[in-house]
Amino acid sequence: MFVLPGPLTSRPRLGTRRLVQSNFSRIVGALSEEVTSWMLEARRRAAALLRTQLVLVEEWSEQHLHLVMPALVKVHSWHNETPLSSTVPGLGMGALRLAFEHLSR
Protein backbone atom coordinates (compact mmCIF):
# COMPACT_ATOMS: atom_id res chain seq x y z
CA MET A 1 0.00 0.00 0.00
CA PHE A 2 1.31 3.43 -0.94
CA VAL A 3 1.21 6.13 1.74
CA LEU A 4 0.65 9.62 0.38
CA PRO A 5 3.00 12.33 1.68
CA GLY A 6 2.18 15.41 3.67
CA PRO A 7 -1.29 16.87 3.56
CA LEU A 8 -2.48 14.54 0.78
CA THR A 9 -5.13 12.06 1.89
CA SER A 10 -6.29 10.92 -1.54
CA ARG A 11 -5.29 11.30 -5.16
CA PRO A 12 -5.11 15.03 -5.96
CA ARG A 13 -7.51 16.58 -8.44
CA LEU A 14 -6.66 16.61 -12.12
CA GLY A 15 -6.05 20.38 -12.22
CA THR A 16 -3.53 20.13 -9.39
CA ARG A 17 -1.68 17.28 -11.06
CA ARG A 18 -1.61 19.07 -14.43
CA LEU A 19 -0.29 22.28 -12.89
CA VAL A 20 2.56 20.44 -11.17
CA GLN A 21 3.28 18.38 -14.30
CA SER A 22 3.63 21.49 -16.43
CA ASN A 23 6.10 23.10 -14.01
CA PHE A 24 8.02 20.07 -12.75
CA SER A 25 10.73 20.32 -15.40
CA ARG A 26 11.61 23.80 -14.12
CA ILE A 27 12.32 22.71 -10.55
CA VAL A 28 13.45 19.09 -10.74
CA GLY A 29 17.08 20.04 -11.36
CA ALA A 30 17.22 22.40 -8.40
CA LEU A 31 15.47 19.87 -6.14
CA SER A 32 17.91 17.14 -7.19
CA GLU A 33 20.82 19.40 -6.29
CA GLU A 34 19.30 20.40 -2.95
CA VAL A 35 18.76 16.75 -1.99
CA THR A 36 22.56 16.40 -2.06
CA SER A 37 23.20 19.68 -0.23
CA TRP A 38 25.63 19.77 2.69
CA MET A 39 22.99 21.43 4.89
CA LEU A 40 20.82 18.79 6.57
CA GLU A 41 17.68 20.93 6.88
CA ALA A 42 17.86 21.92 3.19
CA ARG A 43 18.18 18.25 2.26
CA ARG A 44 15.17 17.30 4.37
CA ARG A 45 12.96 20.01 2.90
CA ALA A 46 14.08 19.30 -0.67
CA ALA A 47 13.48 15.57 -0.17
CA ALA A 48 10.00 16.15 1.21
CA LEU A 49 9.11 18.50 -1.65
CA LEU A 50 10.60 16.12 -4.24
CA ARG A 51 8.57 13.23 -2.85
CA THR A 52 5.34 15.22 -3.02
CA GLN A 53 6.16 16.44 -6.51
CA LEU A 54 6.85 12.89 -7.71
CA VAL A 55 3.48 11.78 -6.39
CA LEU A 56 1.76 14.63 -8.23
CA VAL A 57 3.54 14.22 -11.59
CA GLU A 58 2.89 10.46 -11.62
CA GLU A 59 4.16 8.80 -14.82
CA TRP A 60 5.48 12.08 -16.22
CA SER A 61 8.41 11.72 -13.83
CA GLU A 62 9.99 9.18 -16.19
CA GLN A 63 11.48 11.87 -18.40
CA HIS A 64 13.28 13.39 -15.41
CA LEU A 65 14.68 10.26 -13.79
CA HIS A 66 18.11 11.04 -15.25
CA LEU A 67 18.23 13.96 -12.77
CA VAL A 68 16.48 12.36 -9.80
CA MET A 69 18.09 8.91 -9.71
CA PRO A 70 21.76 10.00 -9.43
CA ALA A 71 20.83 12.33 -6.58
CA LEU A 72 18.97 9.57 -4.71
CA VAL A 73 21.81 7.12 -5.25
CA LYS A 74 24.34 9.67 -4.00
CA VAL A 75 22.32 10.39 -0.88
CA HIS A 76 21.86 6.70 -0.19
CA SER A 77 25.58 6.00 -0.59
CA TRP A 78 26.58 8.44 2.17
CA HIS A 79 27.54 6.44 5.24
CA ASN A 80 28.87 9.09 7.58
CA GLU A 81 25.57 10.95 8.08
CA THR A 82 21.99 10.10 8.91
CA PRO A 83 20.46 8.51 5.80
CA LEU A 84 17.87 10.70 4.16
CA SER A 85 15.53 7.73 3.85
CA SER A 86 15.16 7.72 7.63
CA THR A 87 14.39 11.44 7.80
CA VAL A 88 11.73 11.43 5.09
CA PRO A 89 9.77 8.16 5.09
CA GLY A 90 9.25 6.68 1.66
CA LEU A 91 12.19 8.39 0.02
CA GLY A 92 15.40 6.52 -0.56
CA MET A 93 15.73 2.87 -1.51
CA GLY A 94 11.95 2.48 -1.63
CA ALA A 95 11.77 5.21 -4.24
CA LEU A 96 14.67 3.66 -6.12
CA ARG A 97 12.99 0.25 -6.07
CA LEU A 98 9.72 1.70 -7.37
CA ALA A 99 11.52 3.65 -10.09
CA PHE A 100 13.47 0.60 -11.22
CA GLU A 101 10.34 -1.56 -11.21
CA HIS A 102 8.57 1.04 -13.32
CA LEU A 103 11.50 1.22 -15.76
CA SER A 104 11.63 -2.55 -16.15
CA ARG A 105 8.00 -2.77 -17.35
Q: Is the pTM of this model over 0.75?
A: no
Residue 84: band (very low, low, confident or very high) from pLDDT cuts 50, 70, 90 = very low
Residue 85 CB contacts under 8 Å (≥ 6 apart), including other chains? 75, 76, 91, 92, 93, 94
CA dihedral 77, 80, 86, 91 (to 10 degrees): -30
Q: Is residue 52 part of a domain?
A: yes
DSSP code, position 39: S
7 found inside a domain? no
Q: Give the structural domain span for 95.
A: 14-104
Distance separating alpha carbons of residues 73 and 96, to the nearest angstrom: 8
Quick check: is 71 in a domain? yes
Q: Is residue 3 part of a domain?
A: no
Q: List, for residues 48-69, the tens digit of each pLDDT value.
A: 888 889 889 988 888 998 898 8
The domain tally of the chain equals 1
Please check whether residue 40 lies inside any domain of the structure. yes
| Average pLDDT of the residues of the chain | 77
Q: In this structure, are residues 35 and 75 in contact, taking their beta carbons and an 8 Å threshold?
A: yes
- Examine residue 4 and state whether it is found in any structural domain, yes or no: no
